[in-house]
A = this chain, B = another copy of it.
Amino acid sequence: MGNNKKKEPLCDNIAGEGCGLKKVINIVGGKWKIMILCVIDNNEVVRYGELRRAIHGITNTMLANSLKELETDGLVERKQYDEMPVRVEYNLTKKAKSLIPILLELKKWGEDNI
| Interface positions of A (Cβ within 8 A of B) | 7-11, 14-16, 19-25, 27-29, 32, 34-35, 37-38, 41-42, 54-57, 73-74, 95, 98-100, 102-111, 113-114
Contact among B8, B25, B105 with A28 in the assembled complex (CB-CB below 8 Å): B25
Q: Is the CB of B98 within 8 A of A41?
A: no
Q: How far is the CB of A10 from chain B (nearest CB, A)?
A: 4
B-side contacts of A25, CB under 8 Å: 25, 28-29, 34, 106
- Each complex incorporates copies of this chain amounting to 2
Instruction: Give the dominant DSSP class at A's interface.
Output: helix
Of listed A32, A57, A111, residue having the most chain B CB within 10 A? A111
Contact among B10, B98, B105, B109 with A37 in the assembled complex (CB-CB below 8 Å): B10
A110 to B76, CA, bound (A): 16
A57 to B42, CA, bound (A): 41
